Amino acid sequence: MTAPVAAPTSTRSTTVATARPAAPSATAALAGTLPAAAVDAVLRAALLEDAPYGDITSQTLIPADTRATAVLAARVPGVLSGGEVFAAAMKLTDPGAVVELLVADGAAFAAGTALARVSGNARAVLLAERVALNLVQRMSAIATRTAEFVALVDGTGARITDTRKTTPGLRVLERYAVRCGGGANHRFGLSDAVLAKDNHLAVLTGGDPSKLTAVLRDAKARLGHTTHFEVEVDSMDQIGPVLDAGVDTIMLDNFTPAELAAGVALVAGRARVEASGNVNLATVAGIAATGVDVISIGGLTHSVAALDLGLDIDLGPGRDQLRADGTTEQAAGRTTP
């Protein structure tokens, strides 16, 4: 028999017992910014992919009325993102599940920290387990990597942002994870702002740089007054003509630190300056020191490795704790709520 996916319930009703909280202002800024409908759509698609006809292993081995408590545990240190996603996954398969979020999104945690606890129907917990882990591990990896970049530019005034280089179908979650790490979001998609890149300019000017100011000015005149207009340049001699068109942001692509500093001086506050390309943990501080306003980094989302988190069945005090990977460890006096 196919295990049903129950109708979702709001994760706002889950009990939150936060350990090692993020700064109150950061936590408040994140609250309510992950759309429940988008989370539900991702979870339903993922569960349909993973268990289109139910979980035959659990249906065969686990009696239908068995209850279980499981702990989301950190194997390594990091920054949490996706607590609400974890709760929503568990409640999607069992609306009666009780989920405690023990660490807030955006908070740093040490290895061994209990991040969340779920109590509910055992089959339902096991059905949601892999989907919940996959998403929270990826989101927390993004938040952790973002926090590393943000720490390296602290005090410079530069803002760390993501790009559109996200996993198809997961952009809303990955963008939220960047915010959990202290970063900011670039345009969400192609519909949100104008960003003219090298290929756009090549088509637009026909390879004639003397046309650049006029064609950009004409394009900007056709936009609504609230639409942001950004242009990417890859050489110093493009900055003047682009500035003369009155754009809002100039992206300096693959500039050296010396060229970035010169570009910032040339722009002289007439537009926002964004640096992009060749940004990593070794180079970001030097890039920020040039005075740019924004540093966009595709690597925040496109190349992170999942953070090592696990879901452990909690058997109570004095007994071995069964991990999802089949190994055991002493439960260390944890109690089942």
User: Which residues are identified as catalytic?
Assistant: 130, 165, 197, 232, 253
Contact 56, 324 (CB under 8 A): no
Residues 148, 151: Cα–Cα separation, whole Å: 5
Letter for the amino acid at 267?
Answer: V
Helix-helix angle 122-152:36-50, to 10 degrees = 120
Q: Which residues contact 37 (CB under 8 A, 6 or more apart)?
A: none
Sign for the CA dihedral angle at 56, 62, 65, 68 comes to: negative
State residue 83 phi and psi, 5-degree precision. -60, -45
Nearest to 138 by CA among 63, 46, 65: 46
Q: What is the dihedral of CA 23, 143, 158, 238, to 10 degrees?
A: -160
Residue 99 neighbours by CB distance under 10 Å: 24
**Paired tokens of 273:** 């300056």
Compute the distance between CA of residue 109 and CA of residue 20 in angstroms, rounded to an integer: 7
Interatomic CA distance for residues 252 and 275, integer angstroms: 5
